Amino acid sequence: MRRGTNPGVPNRTAFPLFFSTFGLAMKSMLVIDGSESIARLFAEIFEKRGWDVATCGDLDSAMERLAGNKPYDVILLSYRVPGTTGVQLVRLIRSFEHRRMTAVVVVTGSHEVTDEALAAGADEVLLRPINPNALIWVVDKLVT
């Protein structure tokens, strides 16, 4: 047996199309957070897991992305976004016909908004500080 081969496992170079990610749907996420550094941190967590992640930091850029046709599997948003609140954003997201089934996760520093965010249509509410593993688990649960 040649070194580096595994019996019973096809050689990737011999069958490259079977192992290609071409044609597989990449999961996508929109992160809406007033803090660019927090939005970038959340984006990096999911980009490392193979996600396509877009970020925005205020109501106007969020409106532009949400009104667009790009599909998102998950929208992760902060309760504090310049020009609006997380609850108002959840209502806005749910008002778009093409976003009604998109999973929405709200991140907040106060448990007092949990019920209101869920009533507005959020699928999950996470309290800061965020454990990255808990965030990944919640998002994976929503998209599988």
User: pLDDT tens digit string along 74-123?
Assistant: 999 999 999 999 999 999 999 999 999 999 999 999 999 999 999 999 99
- The answer, yes or no, to whether residue 61 has pLDDT greater than 60, is yes
Q: Which residue has the higher pLDDT, 17 or 61?
A: 61
Average confidence score pLDDT of the chain: 87
Q: Which residue has the higher pLDDT, 95 or 10?
A: 95
Q: Residue 65 falls within a domain, yes or no?
A: yes
Cα–Cα distance between 82 and 34 in angstroms, integer? 6
The pLDDT score that the predictor gives to residue 129 is 95
The pLDDT score that the predictor gives to residue 117 is 98
CATH of the domain at 43: 3.40.50.2300
Q: Residue 7 falls within a domain, yes or no?
A: no
Q: Residue 4 falls within a domain, yes or no?
A: no
- Note whether 102 and 72 are within 8 A (CB): yes
Cα–Cα distance between 98 and 110 in angstroms, integer? 29
The pLDDT score that the predictor gives to residue 68 is 97
Q: How many domains does the chain have?
A: 1
The pLDDT score that the predictor gives to residue 24 is 54
Cα–Cα distance between 120 and 118 in angstroms, integer? 5
The pLDDT score that the predictor gives to residue 21 is 44
Token pair belonging to 124: 């999950």
Q: Are strands 84-85 and 80-81 parallel, antiparallel or unpaired?
A: antiparallel
Average pLDDT over residues 24-36: 91
Q: Residue 115 falls within a domain, yes or no?
A: yes
Cα–Cα distance between 123 and 75 in angstroms, integer? 10
Q: Residue 109 falls within a domain, yes or no?
A: yes
pTM for this structure?
0.82
CB neighbours (10 Å) of residue 42? 26
What is the identity of the amino acid at 130?
A: I
C-alpha torsion sign, points 29, 31, 36, 37: negative
Q: Residue 5 falls within a domain, yes or no?
A: no
The pLDDT score that the predictor gives to residue 23 is 46
Q: Residue 10 falls within a domain, yes or no?
A: no
Q: Residue 83 falls within a domain, yes or no?
A: yes
Domain span at 108: 26-143
